[in-house]
Amino acid sequence: MTARKTPKKSSSSTKQKADKRPTPPVANWKRHAAAIGVAILITVGAYANATHGAFIYDDEFQILKNSQIKPGGDIWQAVTSDVWSFQAGAGESASNYWRPVFTGWLALNYRLFGLETTGWHVMNILSHLLVTVLGYRLLVMLRLRPAACAIAVWVFAAHPAHVQSVTWISGSPDLLMAVFLMGSMICYLAARDDARRSYQAAAVLLYALALLSKETALAFILILFFSDMVLSHEQMTPIKPAAMAALKRCAPFLAAALVFVVVRYQLLHHMRQLAPDAQGFSEVLLTMPSMLVFYIRQSFFPFIYGPIYGVRYVNASNISLTNILLPLVLLAALAYGAYQLWKRDKVYRLAVIWFLSPLLLVQDRYLYLPIFGAAMLIGGGLTALAGRMIHNDLRKSERAALAAGLVIAGVLAVLTLRYNPVWANGVALWEQGVRVDPTSAIVHAHLGNEYQRAGRLVEAKQVISRALELRPDMTAAHVARGIIAVRERRYDDAERDLKEVLNTFPSHETAREQLALAYQQQGRPNESIALFEEGRRLIPAKQSLYTINIAVLDKLAGRNTDAQSELESLLPVLNSTGDPDLLVAWWYLGELYREQGKADSAVSAYERYLRATEGSRDAQVNRLRDLANQSLQKLRQ
């Protein structure tokens, strides 16, 4: 009987086996609890001063002026249209953003906290904490080294790039999207190992909710596909079968994304609505290298943050070595480094996938999701570096890596703590904007508007003048200067600026309303009424509100019959709306009826106003409620 010869292993196979590092044992529950506990402490510390900021910037429109999300508002209309639909007419879209989960989130928070911002901020911080905890669970399921998992979530929890999503109330779409995406990925990995239909269904459902939170979730399909490929390659699966298997597993997510795109198109009536000054494809393409370098800098060297940065679009008139060649050289060097890391370990491959996929697809300016990839890269890199420096003692190398990671997370938490106050109010926000980008006209215009709202008119005029020096045709600066002129009763100057804006943009609401105010203060009510009558035709979303303004002006001019007729024309709207800005018409009607001696009609109008505004937390509404109750007591005596 001939003995069977044992085949010799190839030298390459032997080398591969020799180079393969032993995998550390899976961390026990105490290690998980410690890692998550530290992440929670870091998050609480980083956002300890972020709970008392005011409603600023988009908050003032999406929350304060959005009647749809308030009690009694048309919530169905809100979730079946774009997030700015409250500013548009019926059937119109005011933006590219259909985010019903985000809209529902605003409505929920409004019912819970009203206009008390602390609750809104706490909900954002808790959402960020949930993302962090889910992110840790995801990294554990991806079988990253325990130290790498801990460091990654600490860095993610503390990173100052998240301030715009966590500290700013209107930044919550990133948080909601990330909660559902992390949950979806966890269920996807569970289904990949277990093949249970319930896991797969949960993963797709959570992905759908992520899409309904923010459109950036479309990039998740790339993350899923390439992450699946990486995990299959780890199991020595050939590339082609791995790609086909990953594509098959991603098919339900592709179907969900397609349904989302179709439904979104049906509701918004467009795929993408371009602004009048939107850049062309060539400008976007030329700007991408410098933008990508900027995103990388903000992710790994986050020392300068603000609402707007000095990255300018590149076109034929300003193209140069510094905004094209230098970024391309830097990207080439970084790409080579990323390729070298890609070949070493799956943690680097997964990190690159999570970082680049959202950026390549949508240029996510908030960086919330890409930072998870950057944190993975930092966690994996520190763990590998400590392993090389202390290669004889695994526990000691992990402790060294964890200590370094904790220091980095601590530094990032301090940066976050310092950046939070920037988003506390409009003045602080745009003062930081000017510091970060002193040559931006729009930043100066925003700051000038905030100064005038704060009564700092001298500073406001200086900043607005600077904005117009940088860009003489800036609409926002002309409006802000016109508002200041109205406040200072320089009516000729106000008319010049505001009329110039309306000649170019007849639907500019603020310019129209400020010019009407200027006419009213000069005792020219008929010209104010003419402006609002024109506004009713041009701005359908403002039709009812402008009707109330016209009625008030008629009343001031002594035309009570005309005022009553205008208000009574709104009765069908008043019987179905929950908007306090429109419900005030009931109070005005009560006043008109009372003055005319129509006691029963006045009582009915006052009572309708009180019922419709019951439970309101708005100070102005409650003041009118007090007046209505006083009038009712007199009428009933």
d(CA 442, CA 438) in angstroms, rounded, equals 10
Cα-Cα end-to-end distance for the chain: 121
pLDDT in tens, 472-498: 999 999 999 999 999 999 999 999 999
Mean pLDDT of 390-415: 92
CB within 8 Å of 177: residues ≥ 6 apart: 210, 213, 214, 216, 217, 368, 369
d(CA 531, CA 550) in angstroms, rounded, equals 9
- H or E stretch including 138? helix 117-141
pLDDT in tens, 547-566: 999 999 999 999 999 999 99
CB within 8 Å of 160: residues ≥ 6 apart: 302, 305, 412, 415, 416, 419
- H or E stretch including 97? none
Mean pLDDT of 602-607: 92
What is the pLDDT of the chain when averaged over all its residues?
Answer: 88
Mean pLDDT of 70-90: 77
pLDDT, position 636? 82
Mean pLDDT of 363-373: 84
Reading the block at residue 53, the tokens are 């900021």
Mean pLDDT of 396-402: 92
pLDDT, position 580? 82
pLDDT surpassing 80 at residue 88: no
pLDDT, position 91? 55
Mean pLDDT of 39-51: 96
pLDDT in tens, 197-222: 889 999 999 999 999 999 999 999 99
pLDDT surpassing 70 at residue 278: no
pLDDT in tens, 448-470: 999 999 999 999 999 999 999 99
Q: What percent of the chain has pLDDT over 70?
A: 93
Which of the pair, 26 or 114, is modelled with greater confidence?
114
pLDDT surpassing 50 at residue 508: yes
pLDDT surpassing 90 at residue 68: no
Mean pLDDT of 44-63: 93
Q: What percent of the chain has pLDDT over 90?
A: 65
What band does 5 get if pLDDT is binned at 50, 70 and 90? very low
d(CA 538, CA 519) in angstroms, rounded, equals 20
Which of the pair, 125 or 618, is modelled with greater confidence?
125
pLDDT in tens, 319-358: 888 889 999 999 999 999 988 988 888 899 999 999 998 8
pLDDT, position 75? 84
d(CA 203, CA 186) in angstroms, rounded, equals 8
d(CA 42, CA 413) in angstroms, rounded, equals 7
Look at residue 115 and give its three-state secondary structure. coil
pLDDT, position 274? 66
CB within 8 Å of 397: residues ≥ 6 apart: 383, 386, 387, 389, 390, 391
d(CA 139, CA 133) in angstroms, rounded, equals 10
pLDDT surpassing 60 at residue 14: no
Mean pLDDT of 357-371: 79
pLDDT, position 362? 60
d(CA 577, CA 585) in angstroms, rounded, equals 11
pLDDT, position 309? 86
Mean pLDDT of 224-237: 84
pLDDT surpassing 50 at residue 526: yes
What band does 262 get if pLDDT is binned at 50, 70 and 90? very high
Residues 580-586: contacts with CB within 8 Å, 24+ apart?
A: 580/67, 580/70, 580/613, 580/616, 580/618, 580/620, 580/621, 581/65, 581/67, 581/545, 581/548, 582/67, 582/544, 582/545, 582/548, 583/609, 583/612, 583/613, 584/548, 584/609, 584/624, 585/548, 585/551, 586/612
What band does 364 get if pLDDT is binned at 50, 70 and 90? low
pTM of the model: 0.88
pLDDT surpassing 60 at residue 18: no
pLDDT surpassing 60 at residue 11: no
pLDDT, position 8? 46
pLDDT, position 444? 95
Which of the pair, 112 or 578, is modelled with greater confidence?
112
pLDDT surpassing 70 at residue 117: yes
